[in-house]
Structure 1
Amino acid sequence: MSNPRPPPATTLRAFLDAHFASPDDLAAAPALAELLRRECAGLQASLRRLEEQLAAAAASWLHRSAGARSDLRRLRLPGGAVGEDDERAETVRKLALPALVREIQRIDTIRHYAEATLQLETLVGNLEDAAFSIVRQASKLNLSSILRKSNETELKHGKLLNAVNAVRDIERELVRISTTRPQWTSLITAVDSRVDKTLAILRPQALTDYRALLAALGWPPLLSSPDTQNDKYSQIPNPLVLMNEGNKEKYSQSFLALCALQHVQANREVRQRQIAAATPAPADSKYFDKTDCLDHGLWAIDELVQPVASRMEYHFAKWSEQPEFIFTLVYKITKDFMDGVDDILQPLIDHARLAGLSAKESWVTGMVKMLVAYLERQIFPALVTCNKDHATVGKPEAESSWMHLNDLMISFDKRMQLLADSGIQKIASLSEGLSRSLSVFSIYSEHPDWLHIWASVELSSAQDKLKSEMEDETNWSCSDSQHGQLGHMENSMKFLLSTREDYKAPPVSEFVIKTALSMIERGRALPNRGMQIQYNRSSSVKFLNDFFLVLRDRCEALQLSNTTLEDQPLSKASCAINAARYCESVLREWDEDTAFLDMGPQGSMFTDEISFLVKLGTNYLEQILSAILIEFEDLSWEYVQNIGSWSGQTALDDQILDEENAGVSPGFVASLDALTDRTAKLKLYLNSKDFLDLWRSIAEGLDYFIYSSIRWGEVNFSDTGVMQLRVDTKALLWIFKPLCSRPEAFLPLLSESQRLLTMKKPDAQCLLEMLTDDARRNSCLKHQGLHHIDARQAAKILRSRKFGR
């Protein structure tokens, strides 16, 4: 039972008002308390009776419920057993039945396992019988009988297709088992072992038969002809084109059988990779199959390349010192047989239902792989040895040979890609795999140390070129410094900077950017992002970092904080800052380019370099700012100490102060001249964005320096003193007037203090009285348009004003 809620406060108040209307009613309080206790005791007794009734009703309900449950149990059991039999039945239901169900499930699993095993045994047996039959028949055929005994050849192709169908059926069953019964790994492993052993026999035999057929057809053709001197390679006879109908039919059967065998082998590899990765097989895995085929090349076309390669290598051996001839010959042979390969093989590939696969592309891929193998075996080892030899390391000949070879590889890749792209339209999801197969630069995938050597060679060459550029001081000069003051003023308000000229960066910075971009573009030939990142980190990024360190060293050598800011140090520092800003803008553009998005771990390849340039530019702008302010302070120190201490003569009532004809204070002239010269030089040398920030910072620094140097409250400003301060301030503002329409906005402390000093005496006294009122001091300052001087400072300024009589 829940506790009774206390009476509302209004009801309790009414009860007390009714019984204690006057002080005399307090005497009846004991009687009233006794009455309330008796009523509470009666209510508690009623509550106990209700609880007893509820307990009795609950016990009765539980008794009837237990009886009904027992009756229902007897109805469910045969014979209507009661008593101990009910308990025995309950035990059977809870313990024996689940065990029985598990046993039935185990027996059913064993039955399914036995059925699957028998079915797979049958399929594997069919495969092994077909393989044994093919091997036994192979000994009966020789090269001369391949084209004559058409029946035996067709029979052998038929047996190979039967073996392929058996493998396909086995794969279908294994995919089903791996999906529904992934715990049967031992069965899958055993079947895979037997199938792999059989395929290890089938593939070499199928390739041997295919090679024998090609040899019987006259492949490979001669790579030279009587018209070789006239460069008529295109007229070399192609045996594939010259086949008669009978031979074409035999070749088609052999080609299709080999493609079918490769297709099922690719399916098996995909399934095994998925099982190893513990990922479920997709419902439609044809794209995985085709990708695997393309990555390894078509066996039937690779067998066309190999005998051609053996004849080409005879010529390669004579051109080890002239690799351009090797690339030219490979491209020429590839192009010469392209049309014949496409006309004969593309219909066969379509018939084999290898969707998205191009005969031209496969032919080009095979020729590229052949060239990569030769370069890896014969050309690159010699270059690597030469590059690592202490006698030749760092020599221009060794570096130029490596760069020349890579230039040939880049050009060759582009030309071969054009040949491959002339085939059928590629499926978009396969394009990455295709580019890996077609790139000669895939040679660096297996030899990352060679990639590092290439990057080092590129870096060394770029650094040598940069060194000669930096030795010429004209390459370090700011571009706009040669155009005169007028030409610069026309461009000084341009803040949307994009080119080197806009940033007034020295020519050497553009050379650095172009060289780094050239290195990056050469690295794009690498077949994957990981290799591109590795190459760029070791070449272009390191090249940029070295130049940025040169910029920092040039600025540090100037010692801006210890110099009087002569023209030459200021020009050199400005050019270095401009170069840093220009390089920073280019790197930011590169980071926003889609071609660079994946080259960094966080999507940006130049994050650290950009941060370094930002810090470099900011640090040396701050040093220039500090040097200018210190120089101004040194030249104007005596002047600012005497502000307000000028002649205290007050003007007569009829005397009019001639502010227009008043001159600048003599002690202020030197500092203004120096500031004018520094501002003009910075405007001439520095890029417009940084100059805008710099002159505003200079103005704000001067404003604070002059204002804080005046001993407000200790000096007395007469009318003459106020006029002189206004004249001097106008002279200071005049320096910044060409840079903006309201330079006084950047000297707010001086502007607001002069507004207070020029107030009329009644207004000044009234404002001073309001400043003593805490409630009105802030509002009255805002009403006067004063936002940078607080009430205490305003009161000091007003007390420093000495009005004439």
Structure 2
Amino acid sequence: MEHVQELQGLTRQLQRDLRVMERPSTDDPTDLAHYFAGLREVLPAHARCLALSEATAALPQSGVPSQLLEQADLALEAADRMQEKLVTSLGHVIRQQLGLLGWPPPLVASAPGPALGPPTSQEPQWQGLEAANEQVVSNVQQAMSTLVVVQRAVQCTSFLLETDAAEGGGSPPADAPPLWAVEQLAQPLAERLRLHFGPGRPMDQPDRPELLLSLVARLTHDVAPSLAPLQGAIAAPLADLPQHWYFVPVEFARAMRGVVQTMLKEQLLPQLVIAGNAHAWLHLAECLHAFEKEMAPLRGIPRHTAEPLDDALELWASGSCLETLCTQEAWRQGWWMAERGEALRQLEIIVDAPDAWQPAADVWDAPDDGLMASHMPEEKEAWREEFWPPICADTVLLLVVDLARRAAWMGSEHLRSSYAAAVPKAILAEFRGRLERLLKTAQDFRALASESWAPRVAGYACAAHHMQHSLREATGALLLLDLPGERSDGAPTASVLTQEADAFGSFQDRTARKLARAVATRFSDASSAYTRRKGLDAFGATFNDGREVHTSPSLDPGIRGLEADLVRLSTVLDAVLFRQLWRFVAVGIQHSLFNEVATEAHFSQQGSQQFATDVAAVIGVFQPWTPRPAAHFRELSDAVILLTMPQDQAHSFAASLGAAAEAHQGDAQGIAHDGIDELLSSTGITRLTVPRAMAVLAKRLW
């Protein structure tokens, strides 16, 4: 009750004082002197009024008489009106005194034609502050300094956060409050801009936002440095903060950017929503991007900084004009849908280009050309290179990087995450969808590994591998998209980069497996005579004419075809994919020969030698790609050892295996127990289990 009564009395007293001080005469120095003297008495009362307002606003809503709550609300409203009157009065003095110096300056023309100047020629012309009337400049500084004191009292919480950051030696907070005193400098310019660019005015052209933006950028560039002498006005009330945190020319540039944002919100963006023109949204985004880069040096950010990718990201992005486009759902959707539509159109052009699936390495002219370019020798072999992406994959990645750069001007991580899901993710998903559809077409022809289809399918796999690695090991602008997402129920999800990297990696693996399966199938088809009953019966034949053992004629077509397929694919698959492919092929061929020949045919001594020769020929096909190809055919190698083992040793070994099997009933998997490992390894068997080894030995006829 005491707080409410004191607040009511103090508010009435301040209102009387301000009424007496209101709008001092600009021509009477005595009047201004009395005004500033009155302010010195008003400020302590204003600070006490703010403290009482805070205490009154904290009154509980329950357990307090309703009449007291009504009185508290009325007192708070009166305090707000008093505060608004104080700020308005100070702003009037600042603008009034600056007007004596010719402020605001004439607007600079942004295009050929008559300059946009002051309404009448009788107004004084702005010549800067260096040669201006010292008393007038002093009046401006005194009013600005007082307004900063008032603002610090009103926004004490925000400035306390800044003070804490200063004590910690950190950078200024990204949401540091703009100075009202400097905003008063921008207000007359905003009014003059509205005279020319406002609704229905001659320069009201929503399809040409560059007219306004270039004009504001040039005007700020020309005028901001001349305001440096006003730095003394804010130095004293901000003495507890690092001097570089608030610099009048930089704050003026910030205020002018705020003028542009206000005009965007009030006029331009609603017009674009009504028009529904995607091209206009894209053009506006391009113009705003250029405007932000042009204004960056004026806001204290070095011009040579290419992209805001360091720890100061929020200082670049917070409050940017591009971020303004995202403050309302209709504006955000208008812009993002336009970006996505244009990016999808470019994606179609990229993927459908005549050279889209040519290796990007063919056009890499220098080590740093292309996002993933690396130094390559003149003679390039795909299977020796870490990456072998087609041109379209390299170009699509550059397209996504360009989209990611837009996110650099969004200070909110939530906003960047939403943008990443709405635009870049859609492009990546569509490109992956194109790869899926192209692979499906190739599968429909049932000829993935053929001469005509293999290079295309390999290109799809290499594109996916390139994308998967680039997203997984993101650098540069792509890191702006590496933010956790959010499901509709609020649960966190992996970032867009992680999700898409996983999806491209899955496609890459599936494509490599399908190619490998196709190669193994072609081998099986070409050597089908080898695995048929007639071919199997040949292993039981005996002959004693001392003939030299050669590869079985029925296996030759399969070996020649396998070699040709691997050579062909080695020229179109990168090192990772080709290694993955030939290993899958080796697994498939080994499975086929072991299950269809080694455990199905009956082998004479000569037949065993023939099978060993055939297996060696198959293994030899992989020799160019690995120094130890036999290591990938261990089951076949074990089978050859068992089939070519001397007769006495084979009988003894079979008896030992049989005894071991009986001793370990139920060990169907052949898990090592009590020396079985040693028994198998003593003969060089490294992969086969006891049951499978016995199955091979059972096929010996000698």
- TM-score band by shorter chain is 0.7 to 0.9
- Secondary structure in 2 matching 1:590: coil
CA distance 1:780–1:198, shift in 2 (3 Å): closer
Conserved 8 A contact 1:330-1:367: yes
Paired residue for 2:530, among 623, 632, 639?
639
* TM-aligned CA deviation for residue 507 of structure 1: 0.6
Distance 1:564 1:252 in 2: 78
Deviation at 1:364, TM superposition (A): 1.5
Residue matched to 2:372: none
Aligned to 1:779: 678
Matched, 1:686 2:686: no
Instruction: Output one character per residue of 1:6-52: Cα deviation in whole Å (capped at 9) or x when no partner.
Output: xxxxxxxxxxxxxxxxxxxxxxxxxxxxxxxxxxxxxxxxxxxxxxx
Aligned ranges for residues 401-800 of structure 1 at < 5 Å? 401-421=280-300, 438-478=319-359, 490=381, 492-494=383-385, 497=386, 502=387, 504-559=388-443, 562-563=446-447, 565-590=449-474, 594-598=479-483, 600-601=485-486, 602=493, 604-640=495-531, 641-642=533-534, 645-646=537-538, 650=542, 657=546, 659=548, 662-710=549-597, 712=599, 715-718=602-605, 720-774=606-660, 778-800=677-699
- CA distance in structure 2 between the aligned counterparts of 1:474 and 1:121, rounded to whole angstroms: 82
More relative contact order, 1 or 2 (CA 8 Å, 6+ apart) = 2
Tell me how far apart the structure 2 counterparts of residues 185 and 508 of structure 1 sit (CA, whole Å): 71
Structure 1 residue 558: Cα displacement: 1.1
Give the distance between the partners of 1:361 and 1:421, measured in 2 at CA. Answer: 6
Aligned partner (choices 375, 384, 392) of residue 264 of structure 2? 375
Is 2:247 the partner of 1:362? no
Q: CA 1:345 to 1:120, structure 2 compared with 1: closer, same or farther past 3 Å?
A: farther
- Give me the whole-angstrom Cα distance separating, in 2, the residues matched to 1:743 and 1:308: 78
Shift of 1:344: 1.3
Any residues of structure 2 matched to 1:64-79 within 5 Å, and which?
Answer: none
> Does residue 161 of the first structure (1) align with residue 53 of the second (2)?
no
130, 133, 141: which one pairs with 2:17? 133
Q: What residue number does 2:31 align with? A: 149
Shift of 1:368: 1.0
1:334 and 2:220 correspond: yes
- SS of 1:598's equivalent? coil
CA distance in structure 2 between the aligned counterparts of 1:610 and 1:119, rounded to whole angstroms: 61
Partner of 2:666 in structure 1? none
The alpha-carbon deviation at position 160 of structure 1 amounts to 2.7
Give the corresponding residue for 2:185: 304
2:174–2:314: 8 Å Cα contact kept in structure 1?
no
Partners of 1:751 and 1:609 in 2: how far apart?
Answer: 41
Q: Which whole-Å CA distance do the structure 1 matches of 2:137 and 2:300 have between them? A: 27
Is 1:170 aligned with 2:49? no
Aligned position for 1:37: none
Question: How do 1:37-186 residues align onto structure 2 when only pairs under 5 Å count?
Answer: 117-118=1-2, 121-122=5-6, 125-138=9-22, 143-167=25-49, 170=52
Aligned to 1:214: 95
What is the RMSD computed on CA atoms of the aligned residues?
4.1
- Pairs aligned (count): 639
1:350 matched residue in structure 2? 236
Alpha carbons 1:682, 1:691 under 8 Å: kept: yes
Is the CA contact (8 Å cut-off) linking 2:250 and 2:300 kept in structure 1? yes
Q: Secondary structure at the match of 1:505?
A: coil
**Aligned residue in 2 for 1:223:** 106
Which amino acid counterpart does residue 671 of structure 1 have in structure 2? G
Amino acid at match of 1:536: A
What TM-score do the two structures reach when normalised by structure 1? 0.70
- Equivalents in 2 of 1:210, 1:315: separation in Å? 24
Counterpart Cα distance in 2 of 1:146 and 1:286? 41
The residue that corresponds to 2:668 in the other structure is none
Q: Which moved more, 1:642-651 or 1:697-706?
A: 642-651
Shift of 1:302: 1.7
- Given that residues 131 and 198 in structure 1 are in contact (C-alpha distance below 8 angstroms), is that contact kept between their aligned partners in structure 2? no
**Aligned letter for 1:158?**
R
CA contact (8 A) 2:253 2:298 kept: yes
Residue 589 to residue 711, structure 1, CA distance change in 2 (3 Å): closer
| C-alpha contact (below 8 Å) 2:253/2:299 kept by paired residues | yes
Partner of 1:69: none
Which structure 2 residue ranges, 5 or more long, are not aligned? 118-123, 303-310, 365-376, 487-492, 664-674
Q: Give, in whole Å, the separation in 2 of the partners of 1:477 and 1:752.
A: 43
Tell me the residue number matched to 1:72. none
Shift in Å, 1:257: 2.5
Q: Cα distance 1:658–1:742, how it changes in 2: closer, same or farther (>3 A)?
A: farther
Cα deviation digits, residues 688-739 of structure 1 (max 9, x gap): 2111111112112211211211374872412x22222222222212211111
User: Relative to 1, partners in 2 of residues 1:644 and 1:147: Cα closer, same or farther, differing over 3 Å?
Assistant: same
Amino acid across the alignment from 2:636: L
1:751-779: per-residue Cα shift (whole Å, max 9, x none)?
Answer: 11211222223322322232232256553
In the TM superposition, residue 565 of structure 1 has moved relative to its aligned partner by 3.6
The 1:479/1:209 distance shift into structure 2, 3 A limit, reads closer
The CA deviation string for residues 631-657 of structure 1, in whole angstroms up to 9 with x for no partner, is: 3223323312345633766565xx7x4
Instruction: Give the number of the structure whose residues are more often helix, by fraction.
Output: 1
Structure 1 residue 414: Cα displacement: 2.1
CA distance in 1, matches of 2:256, 2:363: 56
Give the residue type in structure 2 aligned to 1:420: R
Q: Distance in 1 between matches of 2:624 and 2:318?
A: 63
2:360 and 2:394 in contact (8 A); partners too: no
Decide whether the 8 Å contact of 1:143 with 1:212 is kept in 2: no
1:266/1:209 Cα in 2 relative to 1: closer, same or farther (>3 Å)? Answer: closer
Contact 2:539 2:601 in 1 (8 A): no
Following TM superposition, the consecutive aligned residue runs of length 4 or more in structure 1 with deviations greater than 6 angstroms are 171-175, 181-189, 228-231, 268-271, 281-287, 290-294, 430-433, 480-483, 486-489
Structure-2 change in CA distance of 1:799 and 1:137 (3 Å): closer
Q: Distance in 2 between matches of 1:480 and 1:151?
A: 76
For residues 452 and 710 of structure 1, do their structure 2 counterparts lie closer, same or farther at Cα, with a shift above 3 Å needed?
same
Given that 1:771 and 1:795 are in contact with CA atoms closer than 8 Å, whether structure 2 keeps it comes out as yes
Partner SS for 1:606: helix
